[in-house]
């Protein structure tokens, strides 16, 4: 017990810490520059501040996507400097009708459990995540069908347990269930993390009776990211009782997790056995077709929002679907970035542009080295690396060497003398000469240009 109270005190201290949004904004302006600040960040409003996350308001969907893909990390970092406990930002579009706030207030009057505690809006059904815009493919078909089935036949399969890796659509799917069922039921939708927060808060305020009532009166109880309870004994105890009480009163329980029930280590066995006692389905890695369909859906959404077609060629769409990793959240992030760039540059991007755009964004995390450029270039021309760096001047060696120097200049921040040194101690004037020669040749020699671009994309793509 002692331990619990310790935790609460800490929580208290964090709560006192109020975020000063203006100073966050000032810092962002300093760090990112006045131009970026005034185009993208200035109008962001702090809507609501919780212990572990904040809700920021933006004007349009486009702004939200753009800011999310480019500046969210920086904003979060800055916020953390002001308030350490924040670990997540959520953006809300303030103008649109489907604003989450509107949904809250409607639902509050209607049939989603009332939220007494003003600080805690834990009912967070998001109207944007519904069955209609959930694209079905091989990897999520079973989960989707199960979700639908639940909605038609409450508490027949209890609980429904959906698990899968990060960014694969778990929250989207269980949110869809919540939205659908909230038409006729008392739906409680909460993340395991927030469940804990509320739990601790209730102990502190001596309101455990209310807490129990509150959660147990739902007839549909949806809990996201249950893996969060791992290793938290007190929380597991409470969850177990909540679960049993809901189960006994035939409430439908829906759970998401990043792993299968039996893989939930540091979770009590009796909980694991409850979790796997209903229907357990997984969401797998999306294949090419599913990714393609999701992109098409995103394009349609874009068209509906902006009344214009995002200027993406078939090739580019194919590239995004093929090349992106297996995480749907990232797939959408990539799509948003590319659309935003295409919109800003007002031209139809080709695959190579996309690679560069995406690389630009990842550059901060991945460093391209001169060694890497040398390796890829010599491999590409199937010559020996030592020979490429040697003093020999024959064309089949000199040209690749110049290409490697050219790319070193273009893709790294190394100075000319530094590059020279890495090429067997050549002088910086040799590097300048190489850069100029290749740039000039690329203008008239298509073959060379193609080769350089290909090498560039190999370097950038892994």
Which stretches of the chain bind ligand ADP, using CB under 6 A?
Answer: 129, 133-135, 140, 164, 166-172, 294, 328-329, 332
| Max Cα-Cα span within the chain | 85
Residue bearing tokens 């089935």: 149
Beta carbon of residue 187, minimum distance to ligand ADP (angstroms, whole number): 17
Closest CB to Mg ion among residues 133, 430? 133
Beta carbon of residue 410, minimum distance to ligand ADP (angstroms, whole number): 34
In what side-by-side order are the strands of the sheet with 53-58? 45-49, 53-58, 88-93
Closest CB to Mg ion among residues 171, 377? 171
Name the binder of 310 from ligand ADP, Mg ion, none, CB < 5-8 A by kind: none
Closest CB to ligand ADP among residues 259, 410? 259
Closest CB to ligand ADP among residues 63, 423? 63
Closest CB to ligand ADP among residues 129, 383? 129
Beta carbon of residue 140, minimum distance to ligand ADP (angstroms, whole number): 5
Dist CA 33 CA 39 (whole Å): 10
Dist CA 176 CA 41 (whole Å): 31
Beta carbon of residue 133, minimum distance to ligand ADP (angstroms, whole number): 6
Closest CB to Mg ion among residues 171, 251? 171
Name the binder of 163 from ligand ADP, Mg ion, none, CB < 5-8 A by kind: none
Closest CB to ligand ADP among residues 267, 332? 332
Beta carbon of residue 174, minimum distance to Mg ion (angstroms, whole number): 8
Beta carbon of residue 134, minimum distance to ligand ADP (angstroms, whole number): 5
Name the binder of 135 from ligand ADP, Mg ion, none, CB < 5-8 A by kind: ligand ADP
171 lies in the binding site for Mg ion (CB under 5 A): yes
Beta carbon of residue 171, minimum distance to Mg ion (angstroms, whole number): 3
The window from 97-105, 167-175, 194-202, 307-315 that contacts Mg ion (CB under 5 A) reads: 167-175
Q: Which residue's CB atom is positioned nearest to ligand ADP?
A: 169
What is the binding site for Mg ion (CB under 5 A)? Answer: 171
């Amino acid at each position: 017990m002692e331990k619990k109270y310790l935790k609460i005190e800490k929580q208290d201290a964090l709560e006192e810490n109020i975020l000063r949004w203006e100073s966050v904004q000032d810092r962002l302006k300093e760090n990112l520059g006045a131009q970026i600040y005034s185009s993208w960040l200035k109008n962001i409003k702090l809507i609501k501040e919780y212990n572990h996350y904040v809700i920021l308001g933006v004007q349009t969907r486009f702004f939200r996507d753009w800011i999310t893909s480019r500046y969210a990390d920086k904003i979060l970092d800055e916020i953390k400097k002001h308030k350490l406990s924040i670990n997540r930002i959520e953006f809300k579009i303030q103008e649109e009708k489907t604003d989450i706030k509107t949904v809250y207030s409607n639902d509050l009057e209607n049939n989603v459990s009332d939220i007494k505690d003003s600080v805690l809006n834990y009912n967070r059904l998001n109207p944007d995540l519904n069955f209609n815009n959930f694209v079905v493919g091989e990897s999520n078909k079973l989960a989707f069908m199960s979700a639908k089935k639940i909605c038609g036949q409450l508490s027949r399969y209890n609980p429904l347990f959906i698990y899968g890796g990060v960014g694969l659509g778990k929250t989207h799917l269980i949110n869809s269930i919540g939205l659908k069922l909230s038409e006729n039921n008392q739906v409680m939708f909460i993340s395991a993390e927030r469940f804990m927060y509320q739990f601790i808060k209730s102990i502190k305020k001596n309101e455990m009776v209310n807490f129990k009532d509150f959660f147990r009166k739902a007839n549909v109880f949806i809990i996201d990211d249950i893996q969060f309870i791992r290793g938290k004994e007190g929380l597991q105890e409470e969850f177990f009782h909540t679960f049993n009480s809901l189960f006994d009163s035939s409430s439908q329980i829906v759970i998401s997790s990043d792993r299968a029930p039996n893989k939930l280590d540091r979770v009590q066995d009796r909980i694991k056995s409850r979790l796997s006692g209903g229907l357990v389905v997984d969401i797998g890695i999306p294949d090419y077709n599913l990714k393609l369909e999701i992109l098409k859906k995103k394009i349609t959404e874009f068209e509906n929002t902006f009344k214009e077609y995002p200027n993406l060629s078939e090739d580019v769409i194919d590239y995004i679907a093929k090349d992106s990793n297996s995480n749907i959240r990232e797939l959408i992030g990539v799509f948003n970035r590319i659309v935003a760039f295409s919109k800003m540059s007002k031209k139809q991007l080709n695959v190579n542009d996309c690679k560069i755009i995406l690389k630009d964004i990842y550059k901060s995390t991945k460093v391209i080295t001169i060694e890497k450029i040398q390796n890829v270039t010599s491999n590409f021309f199937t010559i020996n690396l030592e020979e490429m760096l040697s003093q020999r001047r024959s064309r089949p060696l000199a040209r690749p060497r110049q290409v490697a120097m050219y790319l070193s200049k273009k893709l790294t921040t190394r100075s000319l003398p530094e590059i020279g040194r890495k090429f067997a101690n050549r002088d910086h004037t040799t590097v300048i000469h190489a850069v100029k020669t290749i740039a000039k040749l690329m203008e008239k020699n298509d073959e060379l240009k193609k080769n350089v671009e290909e090498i560039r994309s190999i370097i950038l793509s892994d």
